[in-house]
Structure 1
Amino acid sequence: MTEDLAPRELRVLVAVGRERGFSAAAVALGMTQSAVSHSVRGSERKLGAVLFERGRNGATATAAGERALAHARRVLRLLDVMAAEVRGARSGAEPDILAGPLRIAAFRSAALHLLPRVLGRLTARHPELVPEVRIVREVGRGTAGEVLDGRADLGIATIGTSSPVPPELVGGVLLEEGYALVHPAGHPAPRTLPLVDWTENCTSYTREWWAGQEWLPPATVEAEDDGAVLSMVSTGYGMAVMPELSLVGAPSSVEITDLGPERPTRSVGYVTTPELAASLAVRALIRELRAAAG
């Protein structure tokens, strides 16, 4: 039977993974390097796997180590949430006090145009809550990966058939946003312009829709993010097909043209772990997200 790891051992693992070395982790934790090494060896023995490859350049997590680190972060976060909720509990009819960090991963347009008003209302009701937002590109594992790895309590994610909620997480759709053609204002033939795109955008398209648009050429420029795309379009360089959140506050130098009832859409939602979904702070955040999206 696998021996349990103590929270202290989990914190050592997370520190080594974060600092990518035993010496740096020892400094961060206020421990000796030998104590950190001893703790890691003990954890590896208990788990029956090598968690870090040791080398001249420090310590690199193995595949087993990456899995262990993800679980360690999530367990430690639950311990923090438990302590915060117990301290914030009040007797009788007084509401629970929400305090401490609330970690959110969001893709760029959601962080810029959806979260500010949500977090404004949330912190007005719970002034001791401290939201921490990380902007993550919605490619690969995206924001869901941040939640799975224990780096975020909740992720704002694109959800759909090509990017479903991972089976280890729970989530829901907040809003459906349509795509529109964006081009320089007043251009006489915008569909003749070069197409500007960005990597994050590609996963959101309905492939069948894209393939059926004979007027859409292959993208000749791939920008870093949607902000760069909008900037290039606004200066007259090209056209783009962009979702609604990316177009909030678009400059007057661009024109937005509806693509009709067959336009592509994407679902924007949230993902979190089943355990954190029951926590007071995450539940409060989900309520505000739903209210803003509705």
Structure 2
Amino acid sequence: MDFSLQQLRGFVAVAEEQHFGRAAARLNMTQPPLTRQIQALERSLGVVLFERTGRGTRITAAGQALLDHCRRVLALLDAAPVAARHAAEGRTGTLRLAFTAIGAYAILADVLDLVNRHLPDVSVELTELVSPDQFAALADLEIDMGLVRPPIPDRYQSVLVHSEDLVLAVPADHALARAEDPVGLADVADDYIGYTPEGSRYLHDICAAMIGVDRYAVSQLTSQVPTMLALVRAGLGCALIPRSIMTMGVHGVRYRELAPADAHSVTLHACWSPDSPNPALHRLAAVLTREPRLGVS
């Protein structure tokens, strides 16, 4: 079975006009070539597509069945160049986005909202990875963009998207839970529950510097914030956490502001490889570069 796109367009025109002359005029051609196209299409398919009447043509049952398919095919073909241009411009496609568990509380919803506003026809695939694993996935082009903590390797491009203060999480029955003023780290006599250097190097190093390496080295360490807060709730110590984690609202845990002398902020960055072939990524990166920070607390 062999037929051309020109034959299909001619067939649809005749079916819709119900007249060879009007269909030929619509296609900017004379009637004899159009008639030959339809006859060749009928021979190729082995069916009669039109019955000739005194005033025009009437489509047959076989022609009606073919018409429905032809319209879909031609609509897809007409849309194909636009779809190709949109994909090349990053207006459509898929964006593979990775994030850290802690970063999800701070900024993930804002990033997804940004994608929905600026790239509404781009789908997003989400993956939770710690920052070192995100850098490896970016190198292998397994993800398109990561929401990571510094330091960021020089081979990647990045933009600051979020900054927030650290606060102190204490057990609900702790003496500091009832204090009215911001607390200083010197007021904390308990052990600290901290971040593992393997899973959260950035937060580990900042908290170790704030508290003191000797004190921090003997604390409970975990890479998962829910586990950290569960240990705080159990009375095993206090923890420094990004402010956005307060939205978890864990029963039995209270959050205290730090005194100005001990206050410290942490940052989160959108990071991507300049070698990525994904146009949707580069479109989002341009938006993020133009936009102010998505969140500052």
Q: TM-score, normalised by structure 1?
A: 0.56
Task: Tell me, in whole angstroms, the C-alpha distance in 1 between the residues paired with 2:168 and 2:223.
Answer: 19
SS at match of 2:294: helix
SS at match of 2:211: helix
Matches within 5 A, 1:23-102: 87-89=83-85, 98-102=91-95
Answer yes or no: is the 8 Å Cα contact 2:90–2:283 preserved in 1.
no
Of 75, 79, 98, the residue aligned with 1:105 is 98
Tell me, yes or no, if structure 1 residue 293 matches structure 2 residue 284.
no
Structure 1 unaligned blocks of 5 or more: 1-83, 91-95
Q: Using the TM superposition, give the Cα deviation of residue 248 of structure 1 relative to its aligned residue in structure 2, in angstroms.
A: 3.1
* CA 85–242 in structure 1, closer or farther in 2 if over 3 Å, else same: farther
Answer yes or no: is the 8 Å Cα contact 2:145–2:270 preserved in 1.
yes
Task: Tell me, in whole angstroms, the C-alpha distance in 2 between the residues paired with 1:293 and 1:217.
Answer: 29
Of 183, 206, 216, the residue aligned with 2:170 is 183
Task: Tell me, in whole angstroms, the C-alpha distance in 1 between the residues paired with 2:258 and 2:285.
Answer: 33
Select the structure with the greater relative contact order (CA < 8 A; seq sep ≥ 6).
2
Counterpart position of 1:198: 195
Task: Tell me, in whole angstroms, the C-alpha distance in 1 between the residues paired with 2:173 and 2:272.
Answer: 44
SS at match of 1:274: coil
* CA 112–178 in structure 1, closer or farther in 2 if over 3 Å, else same: closer
Q: Using the TM superposition, give the Cα deviation of residue 127 of structure 1 relative to its aligned residue in structure 2, in angstroms.
A: 4.0
SS at match of 1:168: coil
SS at match of 1:143: helix
Q: Using the TM superposition, give the Cα deviation of residue 269 of structure 1 relative to its aligned residue in structure 2, in angstroms.
A: 0.6
Counterpart position of 1:18: none
Quote the RMSD (CA, aligned, Å): 3.4
Answer yes or no: is the 8 Å Cα contact 1:107–1:157 preserved in 2.
yes
Answer yes or no: is the 8 Å Cα contact 1:106–1:134 preserved in 2.
yes
For 1:108, give the aligned amino acid. Answer: A
Matches within 5 A, 1:227-242: 227-242=226-241
Answer yes or no: is the 8 Å Cα contact 1:85–1:98 preserved in 2.
no
* CA 86–229 in structure 1, closer or farther in 2 if over 3 Å, else same: farther
Matches within 5 A, 1:2-41: none
Counterpart position of 2:136: 145
Q: Using the TM superposition, give the Cα deviation of residue 222 of structure 1 relative to its aligned residue in structure 2, in angstroms.
A: 2.0
Counterpart position of 1:173: 160
Q: Deviations over 1:91-146 (max 9, x none)?
A: xxxxx6722221112111223442124214523554432111111123xx332222
Task: Tell me, in whole angstroms, the C-alpha distance in 1 between the residues paired with 2:110 and 2:162.
Answer: 15
Q: Using the TM superposition, give the Cα deviation of residue 175 of structure 1 relative to its aligned residue in structure 2, in angstroms.
A: 2.2
* CA 122–285 in structure 1, closer or farther in 2 if over 3 Å, else same: farther
* CA 238–152 in structure 1, closer or farther in 2 if over 3 Å, else same: same
Equivalenced residue count is 199
What percentage of aligned pairs have identical amino acids? 17
For 1:210, give the aligned amino acid. Answer: I
Answer yes or no: is the 8 Å Cα contact 1:122–1:285 preserved in 2.
no
Task: Tell me, in whole angstroms, the C-alpha distance in 1 between the residues paired with 2:265 and 2:277.
Answer: 27
Answer yes or no: is the 8 Å Cα contact 2:107–2:162 preserved in 1.
no
- Which of the pair has more CA radius of gyration? 2
SS at match of 1:256: strand
Task: Tell me, in whole angstroms, the C-alpha distance in 1 between the residues paired with 2:201 and 2:123.
Answer: 33
SS at match of 1:122: helix
* CA 230–85 in structure 1, closer or farther in 2 if over 3 Å, else same: farther
Task: Tell me, in whole angstroms, the C-alpha distance in 2 between the residues paired with 1:270 and 1:146.
Answer: 14
Q: Deviations over 1:204-235 (max 9, x none)?
A: 233543328x8x55444222411210122234
For 1:133, give the aligned amino acid. Answer: L
Task: Tell me, in whole angstroms, the C-alpha distance in 1 between the residues paired with 2:235 and 2:105.
Answer: 24
Task: Tell me, in whole angstroms, the C-alpha distance in 1 between the residues paired with 2:117 and 2:84.
Answer: 17
Q: Using the TM superposition, give the Cα deviation of residue 285 of structure 1 relative to its aligned residue in structure 2, in angstroms.
A: 5.9
Answer yes or no: is the 8 Å Cα contact 1:88–1:97 preserved in 2.
no
Structure 2 unaligned blocks of 5 or more: 1-79, 178-187
Q: Name the stretch that deviates more: 150-159 or 203-212.
A: 203-212
